Structure 1
């Protein structure tokens, strides 16, 4: 590794010659451990130009350090920190600096302490990871994603890679979403009505920031996506939690005071219920009657392998009342953090301005890579492969659940990647999850999804997107054994 010339600065008040100061700079760098053995120093010409001194001054400093075995010379390659250079002395770590700020008073707002739980970062090390929303490396098309990333690095895409779009997005990605992705959900939208986001969660945050104030009311499903509830709590709006049933959100229970209705009609989170068409029309009619907007999170529509997915709520909207949230993070990989908002041009204009003031835009290279992956057909091939795998895993999971006597509280009629489970009322699934971890099993406790002050403790979610089919029966048997059912 080469030592950057930018790390060298001359002190104006140094007592001594320029040669001595350069020697001291290098010696101190070695003794402090900043310059390590084998690292290459800048050439004498480059360092002299940077410091504004003569080249002979730098050369003499290097020669002196060479004689003292701080440096070594390798022919025409240059000067390097010697393997025999003095070892940096070991110092006791400095005592922590005393923080004299009263942060309980200094913080204007707090964002910690929400409901969103921490998920195990080492989930792949568990033999039975019934985790939701992670990527199975055996299914992901890494080779073609890499080729698309390399293509996006080419000279042809130099502008897409390096340009500051400010508040705009990659036109190729927006065009693909408008012409291919949205029509599959029955949605027709112009580029001016589409905004790329850093995943669905970022899209929900943008929508909440624009549509809600402390005086407005958001209607949400109960249970619901816990991160959405954190977002709404941060916006300080009023929250009205509506208990869902086997068909999802019931419009008849939504208060007339609701200003914005958040819903997951195609695949309710986390119960996986699908809202039937008559209820979708009723929801739109109720929203029209109370003059409310609807934010539709269509987070897992691609995972419909049992039957064709129902049309999106947005496709039934004739008034611009529905704001649609989509995501590639679920179908490609969660680390991609790429989603999109679809809404009326007036709303997207504000969303674009808000996004620009916070992050400007998602990285151009990521957008162009995704555009290539989508347009070249790799995305559709990947989705087909994932659907086939999930269909097979779901069948194995269902058989195992029936065999070991576990109780399903919700399972998607069109597919999906998880089962919403219910244990006996006396079971605390948080405690159950901790016990199962020591047995190599990961499950997701269900209480963070509920808005109730005393949420039920006996629900849990079992994802099957990240566990091979052959391990599912044994994993389910261990859960049943921990529950005392077998």
Structure 2
């Protein structure tokens, strides 16, 4: 069989992974796609190295790795060949994609795809001034210790945690760390049977809503508030009742519903912090009226200006608060690891519901997070982030004051964003498009409001932007908001 020419291989600019990994990927993709057939001779290591402009040892190591994986075989001085037992993709006759004969949007009612979302470009990190919320800053993350914890979780001693089907259970080591170190800092005393791990806070909120709501029920949601709440409530068949927040968060007077969703520590998106007196009043109202409270405590770790207020759950004596937490803001959003805390009866139902969807979060992620917590790396990371956010917040506050922009809500405990208000005639969705062309990303506020809502609010976050870039970015926003700017 003819040899595979070196011209079949090329390095893609900007590709991820080491050179050795890229060479391995080229070979395996060629074999699985059927371009490199069993028995075909590979280019010599010297020839391929010269063609790609890499060292010969890099090619040799890649070939050796492929031999161990049975993609290649070595024939001594004769070179390397595609293995006769290499994995092959199944072959099917080529066919044109079928026409979409069914109107799936009409069939589903478009009730999920039509939800208004906060729009962010996928390549947000390529913009010079990304004032967007929730993304991780690689300069703050503890790469080395996270990698070590992940490698430890991949070891033989943790093989069962890595590979086992927990069915509906969770990693006991992570549950121990949550109960011992995370929840107590919110004043919450919980047993392991009162905790359920989820794929992030949004998954936790979805599970809580599905377990607690249904047709004919009513759910109070904050307005403005977390956009997904309204969509999640609608998916259950219940009615979402928006209640306007004030400077102290969700008001207690007049609340009427079966479930109340609230963000008392850092109201989303205004950052208002509900005082203890109002938290107590909310719990008393829940007892009188018989409703359940779902507390979304998504950003409590980022309280760096004042001591964090106690969680609603820590004040709950009647078992009416379901607490949702997450590591998305304090570690990184791609981790997708959160948790629910509630009475054993609720957690048992939520666990069974989760089992119908995904059984449990991946074991390797759970065990890695458990080690990251237990070895103290998490606390060090949070402390580093608090110090960085404190500085960025100060820089942004000074820049906003210098440029004369209006802050609608910034909270008194910290967080990672400012809630802003432009002039009454400004459409911040149109403003965001103009700023994007100027390298600046902001988040229009319309998605946070129920119904039509005002269009002149926007959010500026500082978790993903270097402090030395903040002033210029805010200045560009101010210039875009200046009278006549849209016509220039």
Report the 3-state secondary structure (helix = DSSP H, G, I; strand = E; otherwise coil) of the residue aligned with 2:329.
Answer: coil
Alignment of 1:307 with 2:306, yes or no, is yes
TM-score (norm 2): 0.81
Q: Which residue of structure 1 lines up, in the alignment, with residue 417 of structure 2?
A: 418
- Alpha-carbon deviations, 1:413-449, whole Å to 9, x = none? 1000000000001000000000000110000000100
Partner of 2:346: 347
- 1:189 and 1:37 map into 2 onto residues whose CA distance is 57
Report what 1:282 is aligned to.
Answer: 281
Secondary structure (helix, strand or coil) at the match of 1:454 reads: coil
The residue that corresponds to 2:127 in the other structure is: 126
Corresponding position: 1:337 with 2:339:
no
SS in 2 for 1:250: coil
Contact 2:119/2:443 (<8 A) preserved: no
Checking the alignment, whether the CA contact within 8 Å between 1:428 and 1:458 is kept in structure 2 is yes
Unaligned runs of 5+ in 2: 1-28, 42-71, 84-93
Corresponding residue SS for 1:351: helix
1:102, CA displacement in angstroms?
Answer: 3.9
In structure 2, the partner of 1:208 is 209
Tell me whether 1:443 sits opposite 2:442 in the alignment.
yes
C-alpha displacement of 1:97: 2.8
- Call closer, same or farther: CA 1:287–1:468 in 2, change over 3 Å: same
Q: How far apart, CA to CA, are the structure 2 residues paired with 1:228 and 1:198?
A: 16
Change (3 A) 1:167 1:278: same
Q: Say if 2:290 is the partner of 1:291.
A: yes
Whether the 8 Å contact between 1:40 and 1:78 is mirrored in structure 2 is no
CA contact (8 A) 1:273 1:410 kept: yes
Deviation string 1:142-175 (CA, Å, 9 cap, x unpaired) is: 1110000000001110110000000000001001
Q: Equivalent residue for 2:100?
A: 99
Matching residue within 463, 466, 488 for 1:465: 463
Specify whether residues 174 and 74 from structure 1 end up closer, same or farther in structure 2 by C-alpha distance, changes over 3 A only: same
Number of residue pairs matched by the alignment: 417
Shift of 1:101: 2.6
Deviation at 1:77, TM superposition (A): 6.4
**Distance 1:41-1:349 versus aligned 2 partners, 3 A rule:** farther
Task: State the alpha-carbon separation in 1 of the partners of residues 30 and 420 from structure 2.
Answer: 60
Contact 1:299 1:325 in 2 (8 A): yes
Residue 252 of structure 1 aligns to a residue in which SS? coil
**1:163-190 deviations in whole A, cap 9, x for unaligned?**
0000000001001110111110000000
Scaled by the length of structure 1, the TM-score of the pair is 0.82
The question of 1:384 aligning with 2:386 is answered no
Cα shift at 1:95: 5.1
Taking a change above 3 Å as real, the CA distance of residues 171 and 456 of structure 1, as seen in their structure-2 partners, is same
Q: Distance in 2 between matches of 1:444 and 1:183?
A: 34
- In structure 1, runs of 5+ residues without a counterpart are 1-29, 43-70, 82-92
* Residues 117-156 of structure 1: pairs in structure 2 closer than 5 A: 117-156=118-157
Following superposition, the deviation at residue 254 of structure 1 comes to 1.1
Q: Which residue of 1 aligns with 2:481?
A: 483
For residues 106 and 455 of structure 1, do their structure 2 counterparts lie closer, same or farther at Cα, with a shift above 3 Å needed?
closer
2:253 partner SS: helix
2:243 pairs with 1:242: yes
CA contact (8 A) 1:116 1:230 kept: no
1:236 Cα offset (Å)? 1.7
| Residue of structure 2 in register with 1:68 after alignment | none
Once the two structures are superposed, residues 279-331 of structure 1 have per-residue CA deviations (whole angstroms, 9 ceiling, x without a partner) of 11111111111100000000000001101100000000001100000000111
* Contact 1:196-1:340 at 8 Å conserved across structures: yes
* 2:269 counterpart of 1:273: no
Residues 35 and 191 of structure 1: CA distance in aligned 2, closer, same or farther (over 3 Å):
same
Structure 1 residues 383-412: Cα deviation after superposition (integer angstroms, max 9, x where no partner):
000000000000000000000000000012
Query: Is 1:185 paired with 2:186?
Result: yes
